[in-house]
Structure 1
Amino acid sequence: MTDSAAIAAYWNAAAPAFDDEPDHGLRAAPTREAWAGLLASWVPPGPADVLDVGCGTGSLSALLAAAGHRVTGVDLAPRMVELARAKLTAAGLAGRFLVGDAAAPPTGDRRFDVLLSRHLVWTLPDPRAALREWTGRLRPGGILILVEGRWREAGRSAAPYVAGAEALPWHGGIAADDLAAELRPLVTGLRVEDLGDHADLWGGPVTDERYALIARV
């Protein structure tokens, strides 16, 4: 099984080139606009208190802040958090970023209107516990947004993931039906949106399963 120090080291090393992936850096206008449109369809008009877990370099946090929401981002890798802070500062946007375990965000007793997680659950040693933790961080009527999939890990990174990753419960991602089944007992309603056919989101066509699961607590 992987440990948090190894995971943090991996993502620290990945941070300088992280935004080179089209859906990470959102540097191309069509990709950025596609994600901004999706977020606007999922998150009610602000300002909402949004927790972005596994925020990476803060690209989605920046879109949410630009839409007027109050954003808190959490990532295990200090270098990712540094880049996220710098990205929002450079854009003249407000955001709070914390180094910590995305599965148990270091935000104390604070509750949020929205919790967003993108491409994170496959990295977690106990994703089911994380789902319970995340739903507990939302206010009544709050929205949980999980952007996930089942993908070919090769090609997502030039370097192999941390030792023991193959033992992670959802290594390689999780299918939409399976994630919905895990989450359904924790929420009052959910829906799944297929994202695989939206090439602008990814910077080009994809052939693996990609989706968003949007749920209310």
Structure 2
Amino acid sequence: MSPTPPADELDGIARFWDDAADTFDDEPDHGLRDAGVRAAWASRLRTWLPGSPSDVLDLGCGTGSIAVLLAEAGHRVTGVDLAPRMIQLARAKLADAGLTATFLVGDAAEPPARAVDVVLARHLVWTLPDPQAAVARWVSMVRPGGSLVMVEGRWSSPDGASYTDEAPTLPWGGGVAAADLADVVRPLVTALRVERLSDDDLLWGRPVTDERYALVARV
């Protein structure tokens, strides 16, 4: 299966996320409006990314909350999202913060080909019809010595269903277990570690009971 759905499906998926954009930040871990939640994410990012300014590709960037933290840390950020409204809000968010980043409307499964130091994807692979192909493409974009950082989870048993009638069926529609994602990534990288995040209530703004984690791989 190609990682890219047909154009009409992509248009429908973009409309779905456009419709969600204006309330997207209402979730504590999306908007990072609470100072404690924001600080928790900033702290984690510092442990996952290089300390020196790096070229970071933020895939499925949404409204740009993570991009703000990355830019504040001095990284050169490019955000990609399929939904034009998400990108519009991300640009405004960075401008309001007095920060700069590049934001592109496009398919995060097949981002523009360019070499970067870090590819970062948060809660993205569950939306993709061919997540394995997307992960392989992302790894191919990372410079030697760089990192792939994926914040993911599993909140239900994947059943092939989609979150919208406009999207194709999804192999990881209910999320993906850390062990399964590690099995996909491990042959593509030189080293990886999995960091459990389920028990860090501050990250989510509330207690969670499902599996949430970060996979950090060296390329």
Report the number of matched residues: 209
1:99 to partner: Cα distance: 0.3
Structure 1 segments (4+ residues) deviating >6 Å: none
User: Could you tell me which amino acid in structure 1 is paired with residue 145 of structure 2?
Assistant: G
Which deviations, in whole Å up to 9, do the C-alpha atoms of 1:13-43 show, x marking residues without a partner?
0000000000000000000000000000111
Match of 1:162 in 2: 164
1:139: how far off?
0.3
What one-letter code is carried by the residue in structure 2 that aligns with 1:137?
A: M
2:118 touches 2:149 (CA, 8 Å); kept in 1?
A: yes
Percent identity, aligned pairs only, is 64
User: Could you say what the CA RMSD is over the residues aligned between the two structures, in angstroms?
Assistant: 1.6
Using structure 2 for the length normalisation, give the TM-score: 0.92
Task: Tell me if structure 1 keeps the 8 A contact 2:109–2:128.
Answer: yes
> Hey, what's the Cα distance between the residues in 2 that align with 1:139 and 1:167?
32
Q: Which residue of 2 aligns with 1:195?
A: 197
1:84-128 superposed Cα distances (whole Å, 9 cap, x missing partner): 00000000001000000001112x3x2110110000000001111
Specify the alignment match of 1:80 in structure 2: 86
The reply on whether 1:35 has 2:41 as its aligned counterpart is: yes
2:149 equivalent among 142, 145, 152: 145
Q: Give 1:98's match in structure 2, choosing from 82, 90, 104.
A: 104
Equivalent residue number for residue 127 of structure 1: 131
Structure 2 equivalent of residue 214 of structure 1: 216
Contact 2:152 2:212 in 1 (8 A): yes
Q: Report the Cα distance in structure 2 between the residues aligned to 1:196 and 1:164, rounded to whole angstroms.
A: 31
Unmatched 5+ stretches in structure 2: none
Number of the residue aligned with 1:157: none
**1:7 matched to which residue of 2?**
13
Q: Which amino acid aligns with 1:168?
A: L
Superposition deviation, residue 161 in structure 1: 2.3
Q: Equivalent residue of 1:167, what SS?
A: coil
Structure 1 residue 169 displacement after superposition: 1.0
Out of 184, 204, 207, the position equivalent to 1:205 is 207
1:178 — aligned with what? 180
Unaligned runs of 5+ in 1: 154-159
Aligned partner of residue 74 in structure 1, secondary structure: strand
